[in-house]
C-alpha cells in the first residue's frame, strides 16, 4: 500500500512543480497537512485564481492579470522611446531593481530554440514587428541572456529592427563588478577586452 488515495493524489500533483520529486512532494504534503493547513488552502485558492486570471500583457507579453501591464500602461515609460527585449518576466524585475532604465519592455517568454519547436512566432516576434512598425522607437536594447540561444535570438531581432530603421544596442558583457579577474572564465574575459572603453582622464 501507499498512503490514502487522496494523499497519494496530492503527492502526485505536487510533482508537477519544477525539481520536486516523490520524496520532496511527500515532505511538502506532510508539512502542509501537519502545520500549514490554512496557508495551504490559501495557496490552493491563489493558485487557482492566478492560473485562471493571469495571462500575457497585450503589448509586452509579460505575465499580468490586466489586459495591459502597469509598465506598458504608464505614459512616462513611453517618453524615452526605448524598448528593452528580455527573455522572461524575472529579467524585467531584475532590470527594474537597478532603477537605471525608464523605458518599456518586450518579454520574449523564452529564446529561439528550433529543436524544441520555439520559433519566431512562439516568441511573439510578429507582434514585436507590428509594434516597431506602429511606433517610432529611438532605441532597441537587446538584453537576452549571454548564452548561445540568447545571442542567436538577439541577432535575429537585431535583423528585424534594421528593417524598421531602429537603432539597436546589446547590453555589455564583461567582468562582473566585485568579481576577481582570476576567477572569471576566459570567454567573459575576452568579451571584456573586446568591449573595453577608453579611459577619460581629461
The residue (of 35 and 162) whose beta carbon lies closer to a second copy is 35
Identify which of residues 72 and 142 has a Cβ nearer to a second copy in the complex: 72
Q: Which of 5, 75, 165, 178 binds a second copy (CB under 8 A)?
A: 5
Q: Which among 84-92, 130-138, 165-173, 184-192 is the span making contact with a second copy, rule CB under 8 A?
A: 84-92
Q: Please give the residues from 103 up to 142 whose contact with a second copy meets the rule CB under 8 A.
A: 109
Nearer to a second copy (CB atom), residue 23 or residue 196: 23
How far apart (Å, rounded) are the C-alpha atoms in residues 117 and 103? 31
Q: Does 197 bind a second copy (CB under 8 A)?
A: no
Is 145 in contact with 95 (CB distance < 8 Å)? no
68 lies in the binding site for a second copy (CB under 8 A): no
Q: Which of residues 17 and 171 has its CB atom nearest to a second copy in the complex? A: 17
Task: Please identify, among the stretches 48-56, 128-136, 153-161, 174-182, the one whose residues bind a second copy according to the rule CB under 8 A.
Answer: 48-56
Q: Is 64 in the site for a second copy (CB under 8 A)?
A: yes
44 binds a second copy (CB under 8 A): yes
Query: Please, where are the H alpha helices in the chain?
Result: 5-14, 22-35, 37-53, 70-73, 75-79, 89-98, 125-134, 148-163, 186-194
| Shortest spacing between CB 67 and a second copy, in angstroms | 12
Q: Is 155 in the site for a second copy (CB under 8 A)?
A: no
3-state secondary structure of 31: helix
| DSSP string of 95-147, one letter each residue | HHHHT---SEEEE-SS--BGGGTB-TTTTTHHHHHHHHHHS--SEEEE---SS
Place of cell 532603477: 99
* Per-position b or e across 121-160, b if 16+ CB within 10 A of its CB: eebbbebbbebbeeeebeebbbbbeeeebbbebbebbbeb
Dist. CA 108–CA 141, nearest whole Å: 13
In whole angstroms, the minimum distance from the beta carbon of 90 to a second copy comes to: 6
Q: Contact positions toward a second copy, by CB under 8 A? A: 1-7, 9-10, 13-14, 16-19, 24, 26-34, 36-37, 39-54, 63-66, 69-71, 88-90, 93, 96, 109
Amino acid at each position: 500500500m501507499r498512503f490514502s488515495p487522496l494523499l497519494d493524489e496530492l503527492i502526485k500533483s505536487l510533482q508537477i512543480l519544477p525539481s520536486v520529486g516523490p520524496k520532496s512532494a511527500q515532505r511538502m504534503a506532510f508539512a502542509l497537512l501537519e502545520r500549514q493547513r490554512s496557508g495551504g488552502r490559501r495557496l490552493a485558492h491563489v493558485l487557482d485564481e492566478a492560473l485562471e486570471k493571469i495571462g500575457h500583457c497585450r503589448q509586452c507579453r509579460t505575465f499580468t492579470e490586466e489586459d495591459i501591464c502597469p509598465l506598458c500602461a504608464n505614459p512616462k515609460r513611453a517618453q524615452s522611446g526605448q524598448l528593452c527585449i528580455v527573455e522572461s518576466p524575472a529579467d524585467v524585475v531584475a532590470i527594474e531593481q537597478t532603477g537605471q532604465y525608464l523605458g518599456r519592455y518586450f518579454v520574449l517568454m523564452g529564446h529561439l530554440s528550433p529543436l524544441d519547436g520555439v520559433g519566431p512566432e512562439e516568441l511573439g516576434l510578429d507582434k514585436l514587428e507590428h509594434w516597431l512598425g506602429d511606433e517610432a522607437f529611438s532605441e532597441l536594447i537587446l538584453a537576452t541572456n549571454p548564452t548561445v540561444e540568447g545571442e542567436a535570438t538577439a541577432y535575429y531581432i537585431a535583423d528585424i529592427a534594421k528593417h524598421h530603421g531602429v537603432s539597436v544596442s546589446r547590453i555589455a558583457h564583461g567582468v562582473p563588478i566585485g568579481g576577481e579577474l582570476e576567477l572569471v572564465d576566459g570567454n567573459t574575459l575576452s568579451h571584456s577586452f573586446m568591449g573595453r572603453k577608453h579611459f577619460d582622464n581629461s
